[in-house]
Amino acid sequence: MKARNLKESFVYALSGLKETVIKERNMKIHLGAAVLALGLGGIFKISRLEWGLLVLTISSVLTAEMINTAVERVVDLVTDHYHPLAKAAKNVAAGAVFLSALLAVIMGFIIFGPHIWIIIKR
């Protein structure tokens, strides 16, 4: 399914995004966390630099989840039998998502921690 033009490329990309959002539970969880983080950013009136870091962090988690989904689908397409390499491929892709999400939580503490601390100190 090769795109014939730029418009088709965008249509295919959006289709992949839509499929991931609709069919993947973890993508819904990541999107919920992203909405929460963006809402906190608005509430705390974070700086432009913090917004940039927040958007980069969110996009890295969502991208990792989509790559994980693609790896899982390709592995499932290639084999329906257990194979240690198939398991390893899926586990490594899932590990990348986990690492990305863990780093996102750390970035959340870095960005929102000082704002929350001010509220706690009052």
Catalytically active residues, by annotation:
65
12 is in an annotated binding site: yes
Is 82 part of any known ligand binding site? no
Q: Measured between alpha carbons, how far is residue 107 from residues 17, 36, 40, 62, 83 in Å?
A: 24, 14, 13, 15, 36
Q: Is 72 annotated as contributing to ligand binding?
A: yes
Q: Which own/partner contact pairs does 51-58 have at CB distance under 8 Å and 24+ positions apart?
A: 53/107, 53/110, 53/111, 54/107, 54/111, 57/103, 57/104, 57/107, 57/108, 58/34, 58/104
Binding site members: 12, 24, 65, 72
Q: Which residues are annotated as a binding site for a divalent metal cation?
A: 24, 72
Positions at the binding site for substrate:
65
Residues annotated within the binding site for ATP are 12, 24, 72
